[in-house]
Amino acid sequence: MSTPAPRITHLVGGAPWTGVAERTSPVYNPASGEVTGQLDLASAATVDEVVKVAHDAGREWGQASLTRRAQVLFAFRELLNARKEEIAALITAEHGKVLSDALGEVTRGLEVVEFACGIPHLLKGGFSENVSTKVDVYSIRQALGVVAVISPFNFPAMVPMWFVPIAVACGNAVVIKPSEKDPSAVNAVAQLWKEAGLPDGVVNVVHGDKEAVDRLLEHPDVKAVSFVGSTPIAKYVYEKGTAAGKRVQALGGAKNHMVVLPDADLDLAADAAVNAGFGSAGERCMAISALVAVEPVADDLVERIRARMATLRTGDGTRGCDMGPLVTGAHRDKVVGYVEAGVESGATLVVDGRDGDVDGDEGGFWLRPTLFDHVTPDMSIYTDEIFGPVLSVVRVPSYDAALELVNANPYGNGTAIFTNDGGAARRYQNEVEVGMVGVNVPIPVPMAYYSFGGWKSSLFGDSHAHGTEGVHFFTRGKVVTSRWLDPSHGGLNLGFPTHD
């Protein structure tokens, strides 16, 4: 008889939850297809329990001095840096991405922690002396209370870290609701907060699905929601959360275009297309999925990409391969369905990822890198976010046609232009309706001190993640007008205050 998969549960008030879950869900190792954990799914009542713990802890934490908060952040930074390999291994075991990529994800999360270490500086307010005679005005920003972070499967460590360090540094308590597909990395990172000296209850993890999300969106003590996931759910979360009076930033899906102009360095462009198209098996919100080749470069570019793809090794993420499996069997089947639809709709299948060997267990959720050429904007492989290792080449006659195509797309997360013409690059950066733009950089993810976020159907709300927008999102402003009485002040005047 096989032993049951270990239980994975919520972290509440600094300790694993001790209740009994009504529902659980299996967690897989995508490289073997085996069930490696059983995850507790929270009921609405369990969410209430967790929010209460966070609410109580947040009251005190919101009063902690800036020095103390910064000290916890610095300690957390050291722990995360020391344990990043451990976290990366957990990511690979449940997500499937290769170890080096998992480590890269933790490193990008670490950058946000480093940004948040500067919270005393970031929270400095303004002060105006003598706005009126002997009257001063100053502005301060204060914590919101309890905030929720709801994250997707594709960056189980980094996406929560876009928000949690800043929310904590600003004096809030946090309830994280990770993806149910790869929950262990978040639990491990949450333990590090405790080790760093953060009071119990300030960072909590509640696992679950729609039931848990819906309760967080309704709960009166949850003041703000940072969501990242697919566009339909992002829109739902934004509408439901704001209807309940919360501030919400909801980052959605993407279809990222890489435009290659005729004067581009085609070797650089081919390298970039392969790296950004197939890294993490295309399961990145900043993955390049549409390559827009401005003629006459397409034949040459497609050939260079095909040649590079022949060298890629797909397999188990712990074995030094270039690309791992897809996250679940159901997702792999969905992506294979898109490959079939692409063939049926008449696109040219240059490289078929359904064929060929993988360096991994037979039961893994495999699909090798796939390349389509002569893709047109009406095909589902172009219109839909596939979220798999499928790159589509769309051929266009000119820069204007490329720009029109990108701007007509409902998504606006990331885009890149490859060219040696500075004027063309500058024009593209100005004219394109996309939130993050790369010039000869295929995945232009901003550094932590800038803010991350797309336009159009890639983001609901007006607040991007991390950077100063993150600090703004997790605090509310207060302006104080102050006068210390001295004998010159006095007398009655019922008019509206003006300055003198």
Residues that bind ligand NAD (CB under 6 A): 150-155, 159, 177, 179-180, 209-210, 213, 228-230, 233, 251-254, 285, 385, 387, 413, 454, 458
CB nearer to ligand NAD: pick between 264 and 416: 416
How many C-alpha atoms does 460 have within 13 Å on its Cβ side? 23
Q: Between residues 167 and 298, which has the closer beta carbon with respect to ligand NAD?
A: 167
> In this structure, which amino acid lies at residue 307?
A
Helix (H) or strand (E) holding 176: strand 173-177
Q: Indicate the residue among 274 and 285 with the shorter CB distance to ligand NAD.
A: 285
Question: Residue 92 to residues 83, 180, 185, 415: CA-CA distances in angstroms?
Answer: 15, 15, 10, 27
Are 351 and 309 within 8 A, CB to CB?
yes
Of 151 and 409, nearer to ligand NAD (C-beta) is 151
Q: Are 36 and 5 in contact (CB under 8 A)?
A: yes
Helix-then-strand count for the chain, H and E: 16, 23
Q: CB under 8 Å to 294, separation ≥6 — which residues? A: 259, 260, 261, 262, 396, 397, 398, 399, 401, 402
Compute and round to an integer the Cα radius of gyration of the chain.
Answer: 25
Closest CA to 125 of 483, 467, 480, 464: 480
Q: d(Cα 216, Cα 222) in Å, to the nearest integer?
A: 7
**Which residues are 203's β-sheet partners?**
174
Q: Is 113 helix (H, G, I), strand (E, B) or coil?
A: helix
Nearest approach, Cβ of residue 259 and ligand NAD (Å) = 20
- Residue 249 or residue 419: which is nearer to ligand NAD going by CB? 249
With beta carbons less than 8 A apart as the criterion, state whether 206 and 160 touch.
no
Tokens (6 digits) for 113: 């922690």
Closest residue to ligand NAD: CB criterion: 229
- 136 versus 209: smaller Cβ distance to ligand NAD: 209
Choice between 162 and 193, CB closer to ligand NAD: 162
133's tokens: 């005679």
| Distance from C-alpha of 378 to C-alpha of 381, rounded to nearest angstrom | 9
**Residue 12 beta carbon to ligand NAD: minimum distance, rounded to whole angstroms:** 18
3-state secondary structure 220-243: CCEEEEEEECCHHHHHHHHHHHHH
CB 424 within 8 A of CB 264: no
Please tell me the distance from the alpha carbon of residue 468 to that of residue 451, in angstroms, as a whole number: 7
Residue 257 phi, psi dihedral angles, 5° rounding: -100, 140
In the complex, least distance from residue 385 CB atom to ligand NAD, rounded to whole angstroms: 5
Q: Is 285 a catalytic residue?
A: yes
Closest CA to 183 of 215, 216, 213, 150: 150
Q: Which is nearer to ligand NAD, 255 or 304 (CB)?
A: 255
CA distance 263 to 294: 10
Comparing C-alpha atoms, which of 157, 199, 205 is closest to residue 177?
A: 205
Q: Tokens representing 255?
A: 């279809």
Which residue, 229 or 438, is less far from ligand NAD as judged by CB?
Answer: 229
* Per annotation, catalytic residue among 117, 170, 285, 321: 285
Coil, strand, or helix at residue 469? helix
Residues annotated as catalytic are 285
